[in-house]
Structure 1
């Protein structure tokens, strides 16, 4: 069996609880006592934790600067427990900006990395991790240092860089960790070993399970047992692996964590199927699907595959076909998720390489300058004037080269950018979009095109002036950019018409983005202009699955849907589906996303 990266997401949730500020010494202050109490119960008694946090908030004026800092960390943790990741990120970022203490920077950075992992913002997480890791040697408190290194191991395991994940986890194990850190480090080492297709040591796995049990960490302990079961399956000890998972299935079920429970059932289904016990295999596979429904995970893929094989062996052709379709969809979603994480790592890695190259170039330039200085010092007096003249000449050349380069860059930007909105102009949009489509075609990826046009824009110009119209175009551009990823291309095609090419995006996802963008445009507050008016847009959407990889055809089909949206009342999204072209002309069986007020009548064509 392959190692599921979904494990790492649940491990991240557990790590977010583990990465708490180290327990403080007993103090006499009431506020310190409340802080210590909150730290002790924040993962085990959430309701009581919020009660203590509220009491601390009321006494914030009495607190010392150090106590206020700890209170803010507790506040950020409270946001995370309620699923409010953005306020937690803002709080932690603000703490980082206000402190210069390496230990506090390292610890808050570790929490930020963990939060980004939980919210699947892997690129931000990796960037933050690269910022804080150099501080590890300056952290005196071993517990804080260990937790930061464990976060590094966790994130690298998540993005498939198991060698790095194992390296950081082993650093912690080699430094005699205590408590939960030992459990988490052992779990990461075992997970990384399986990811690297290496057989983890049974002794190490048993030792890790024991540590997890002693620290009452059933989730990490449960995950570690799956690694042992995989090893036994690879060694041909299927019965022994089944006995292990069946024995601890009730314990894992009691945790209530769907992915871990789904993993146990999926593994058991696969094992029983190998033994020919299709009835028991189907029971476990059904339970794995039930627990894993709505998630993108390997256990769901394994469960659907088992159900497909069972139906196929039983000769139920229709059921087998259905199960195979479900298996294929789950496998595709899982692989896309894996690609997203790997892409985030490659992007950050490339950024680091570029910075390293820049530093290397600066070092080389410094070396050249030092050599030049030595030559200058050793030159005879009769050549000093010549040297000075040469230096002036070189400086002049460099200055004019710099000026010319700046002019070139300025001209390039002017040629590629729409002067009003700052996004791609039509020409540059066409070039970038065609490149992206060619890459999608080569890689077998889908691409989608969204075109939209502002409704009644001429009336805005006529009633309030072109200055107000320009303001509206810039606001629409800013709002639209918020829905684009770094790999997407957005451009102003002319007038009030815009387009977004979405890389690796299917039709339905693009339709949802278009609808969200439509709603956001309608929410733009125009009072800053001194006028009150509505900004709405009509959207047309198509994808390469329907229109192919020709930009011209994509634009043509999206444009048709845009004008269909105009004709049907504006302020709506219409989607191109050639299979129902006649039905669309008749006004039935269409995929269009009208305004939210009319959503009750929305109908999605099959």
Structure 2
């Protein structure tokens, strides 16, 4: 859903411009309206009109010049000069006397920030603009501001808010582009919330966009329709609607939409076993390059190419494609997390700001009361004491609340959200500190890495909910083998690690064996399914691998792979002599993530 959210960023900015009624010079007004009407469909003519308006601005009123600045910002955006557009919009948002224009500029500024991936600043700009909505008298201006909010909230994954703002526009009987865009936003929000969407709603959005010659939005609406049909088992219908309009989409020359269509067609053709067609579409999607980086279409395209290589029995190509698929998927997930984090940060900033304002208001009230108390000191001594106590308690309360929020954010940054143990970043920091201390004190340390066997099969057979349950149970079981000075962390997926302070290789191998036995004893019936949970362990220590965390992880990872290769559900201990012997026999090693997939982990 993230790719669909991002695609509206530029369109939201384009729709942020409407001609304002009641301007003094008819000829200038006519040029403004003409430029506004063709700004998304005919860029060449738009720039000619913009140049003409620039030449005539000396005779224009201030309101007309402000409107021209909005057009100018749009022109900068179309040329990719986002910083110039931001400067124009910031000055317009604070310098214009027209609340309608300030509202449009604020909404357009928010989406401009989103286009440049500065979601935190975009959300802050949006929060400053939205309070003006109740003062906006021009209905079209209000619609565009509300849709800007809907676009940005959909982009950061807050689909409920996105739907609410878009629905406000639909409920107000919008016209033209507003009906087209609002309809798309509501459908996108419902899909993001995993709620049912009626075909009639999607067809209505498509029709509204076609009537306005909005090829981009109509194209995106058809992707929603295709996904619904696939979910309903109408795979061929989905392929048909995408291929019938593929030439229209390619005519837009918009890489993200082109990549979306080709990646979907590649996926659907692959489902039908049409490998040649699937490969062509996947390669076309990938060819869109950096324009679709960090998006779901690129992930899907690389996954299809990986599946094709597997089908053809080409392991080298399969490995290469899987690496690209894994990198694309990681970039996509990072993009989602970045947007979600931006929303949380801005939300926290607003909360803190409101708290500060509330505390300042209370303080001002107290100061006013103190002035009255000074005039009647003898009579109001008790009141002064009570007010001072109230002030101190209030400040202490808010300080306590803020501190709790800060601690909560710190815990979120250091803890794996699913299992409650250290995430990879925090594990790395703690482990490196522990190793440095061991090195200074001449102490040994040992590292245990383990990976759950056949975890993908658990997810595939019983669902991700059962897989999450298994990961939490494994983390809980592993805690029982850790002392307070040891470091337990989830490195990612089904991979865990334990750094044991002051522990040699033999002791660590015993702990690993005990942990392995404990994992195999986990009772799974409470999930409603019966399956085995086992792990493959790799163990090394500083005596064998030194005090470098990277080297410890690398050599423990090799032993983990050896355990996988030897049949899983076992512990392999690092032995320098044996490793040297294996190295000389030219054993082929793959990166752990790819090996795990290769071995069916």
TM-score by length of 2: 0.62
1:170 alignment partner in structure 2? 167
1:72 alignment partner in structure 2? 69
Aligned-pair distance for 1:246? 1.1
Structure 2: gaps of 5 or more residues: 396-409, 430-546, 552-601
CA distance in 2, matches of 1:437, 1:193: 30
Which residues in structure 2 correspond to 1:430-469 (within 5 Å)? 442-445=422-425
SS at match of 1:385: coil
2:384 alignment partner in structure 1? 391
Matched residues, number? 413
Q: Is the 8 A contact 1:136 1:145 kept in 2?
A: yes
1:112 aligns with 2:109: yes
CA distance in 1, matches of 2:411, 2:205: 50
1:299 alignment partner in structure 2? 297
Deviations 1:546-593 (A, max 9, x none): 97599xxxxxxxxxxxxxxxxxxxxxxxxxxxxxxxxxxxxxxxxxxx
Match of 1:287 among 284, 288, 291: 284
1:9 aligns with 2:2: no
CA distance in 1, matches of 2:168, 2:203: 19
2:42 alignment partner in structure 1? 45
Match of 1:243 among 237, 240, 245: 240
2:561 alignment partner in structure 1? none
Q: Is the 8 A contact 1:262 1:292 kept in 2?
A: no
Structure-2 change in CA distance of 1:64 and 1:437 (3 Å): closer
Which residues in structure 2 correspond to 1:146-165 (within 5 Å)? 146-165=143-162
Aligned-pair distance for 1:357? 2.8
Q: Is the 8 A contact 1:292 1:299 kept in 2?
A: no
Deviations 1:436-469 (A, max 9, x none): 9977994324999xxxxxxxxxxxxxxxxxxxxx
CA distance in 2, matches of 1:170, 1:318: 50
CA distance in 2, matches of 1:229, 1:117: 27
CA distance in 1, matches of 2:10, 2:237: 30
2:124 alignment partner in structure 1? 127
1:180 alignment partner in structure 2? 177
SS at match of 1:21: coil
Q: Is the 8 A contact 2:9 2:114 kept in 1?
A: yes
Aligned-pair distance for 1:162? 0.8
Q: Is the 8 A contact 2:23 2:64 kept in 1?
A: no
Deviations 1:76-106 (A, max 9, x none): 2221121111111111111222224322221
1:322 alignment partner in structure 2? 320
Structure 1: gaps of 5 or more residues: 403-433, 449-545, 551-606
Structure-2 change in CA distance of 1:153 and 1:389 (3 Å): closer
Moved more, 21-30 or 313-322: 21-30
CA distance in 2, matches of 1:261, 1:30: 40
Which residues in structure 2 correspond to 1:330-409 (within 5 Å)? 330-361=328-359, 385=378, 387-388=380-381, 391=384
Match of 2:53 among 31, 53, 56: 56
1:309 aligns with 2:307: yes
1:278 aligns with 2:271: no
CA distance in 1, matches of 2:368, 2:42: 63
Q: Is the 8 A contact 1:73 1:92 kept in 2?
A: yes
SS at match of 2:313: coil
Aligned-pair distance for 1:170? 0.8
Structure-2 change in CA distance of 1:384 and 1:329 (3 Å): closer
Aligned-pair distance for 1:372? 10
CA distance in 1, matches of 2:217, 2:93: 30
Deviations 1:44-98 (A, max 9, x none): 3323322332232223222222222122222222211211111111111112222
CA distance in 2, matches of 1:146, 1:198: 24
1:409 alignment partner in structure 2? none
Structure-2 change in CA distance of 1:53 and 1:389 (3 Å): same
CA distance in 1, matches of 2:79, 2:109: 16
Aligned-pair distance for 1:358? 3.2
Structure-2 change in CA distance of 1:98 and 1:367 (3 Å): closer
Q: Is the 8 A contact 1:38 1:52 kept in 2?
A: yes
Q: Is the 8 A contact 1:199 1:231 kept in 2?
A: no
TM-score by length of 1: 0.62
Structure-2 change in CA distance of 1:436 and 1:132 (3 Å): closer
